Amino acid sequence: MKKLLREFFKGIGSENPIFRLILGLCPALAVSTSVVNGLGMGIAATFVLLGSNIIISLVRKSIPDQIRIPCFIVIIATFVTIVELMMKAYAPELSKSLGIFVPLIVVNCMVLGRAEAFACREGVLASTLDALGMGVGFTLALLLISAIRELLGNGTLLGFLILKSFDPVLYLVLAPGALLVIGLLIGGINFLSSKRRSA
Amino acid sequence: MKTILKFAFILFLVNLVAASILAATYNITKSKIEEQVRLAQEQALKQVMPEEIADRLESVEKDGVVQYWKAFKGNSSQPNGYIFIAKKYGYSSVIETMVGMKKDGTFTGLRVISQNETPGLGVKIAEPSFTKQFINRNVSELELSKNNIHAVTGATISSRAFLDSIKSSSIEMLKNKDE
């Protein structure tokens, strides 16, 4: 039981995909311009991760090693297309603002990374918790990055005007701003954890 | 040889299952997606043409594709205005705008229906703070300047492309309306 809980929490903390494993940075950089986009992307990626981890863990014994990558890609792509169609049908605004980055979850290295490093070795329950933990960790990281960028770069949060008498730093909403925010956050987290380790 | 056939068969099975699941999802969501597209269009049409000016729309089609809409007020047989779609390449994408115009060339409403300009800069052309500047202006007086239409700061190319596309499509529309 304790081991299973650890599989869940490692994705949020010690093995956070963005801040620790530095995986899945492409969507994290591209769609973190607003909190709504960040949240939508996080939920979409979590769903794909969950689906692919469960299925891959179920079929892991019947898929020969040599052709596992194409099989994983097909499984992941299936879930991504389901998400894309569902989003178009039930959340058309979100699907419009995320655009190409929803289909691009197929090549998100975090999803294939978990399939390779975890789901093809471990049981269904552990893989499910691993996917949930990674998904939640990814979503929280995206929320943090997008909240900083939206608040300082546009003066809004979730579309509401918060900073009224403040000239927004447009730079943060543009691509270089994403790299800067993620770099500073990773640096800060590394600094804090190294301090804790030496103490 | 035997392993190749085995691998091919496994891949075939995986793909078969994936394809059937996707076909099912596609069929379930198809009508819903079409409805969303239709709803979005209806909403945009309503937004660019206020009811006081026209309350009845009639699409003008050519080869089964809607070219523009004629907008009528009450039972009048003469259109009071037009709605059409203006398209032009902006800074990083094609900007598509639905434009509502009275028959004298005065704009009643604009709505950007598709664009992929720079986040934080070019995308602001789609916000009402920019598009509302066009309302109640005549096509003949459109230009980007201090006391006319203010361009979005840092997005002059997107703003200019947006204005140009609306201007040229409006002139085209006024020229062709009787055909």
ipTM for the complex?
0.76
Interfacial B residues in 32-51 facing A (CB < 8 Å): 32-33, 36-37, 40
Region class of A183: left (phi > 0), else alpha (psi between -120 and 50), else beta = alpha
B2 at A interface, C-beta within 8 A: no
Task: Determine, for residues B7 and A92 on separate chains, whether the beta-carbon distance falls below 8 Å.
Answer: no
Percent residues over pLDDT 70 in chain B: 97
B-chain CB neighbours of A150 within 8 Å are none
A and B: number of Cβ contacts within 8 A = 61
Query: Does A62 sit within 8 Å of B10, measured CB to CB?
Result: yes
Q: Tell me, what's the pLDDT at A142?
A: 92
Note the pLDDT of residue A143.
Answer: 93
At A56 the pLDDT is: 92
Produce one character per residue of A90-123: b if its CB has 16 or more CB atoms within 10 Å, e if not: ebbebbebbeebbeebbebebbbbbbeebbbebe
Q: Which residue of B has its CA nearest to A76?
A: B18
Point out which residues pair with B60 in neighbouring strands.
B68
Look at residue A52 and tell me whether its pLDDT is greater than 90: yes
What confidence score (pLDDT) does residue B18 get?
94
Contacts of A52 (CB under 8 A, 6+ apart): A72, A75, A76, A79, A111, A114, A115, A119, A131
Please state which of the ranges A45-59, A105-119, A152-166, B22-36 shows the lowest mean pLDDT. A152-166
Calculate mean pLDDT across residues A125-137.
Answer: 92
Q: Closest chain B residue to A68 measured between Cα atoms?
A: B11
Residue B79: pLDDT over 60: yes
A11-27 pLDDT, tens per residue? 888 888 888 888 888 88
Q: Of A67, A170, A173, which is closest to B7 when you measure between CB atoms?
A: A67
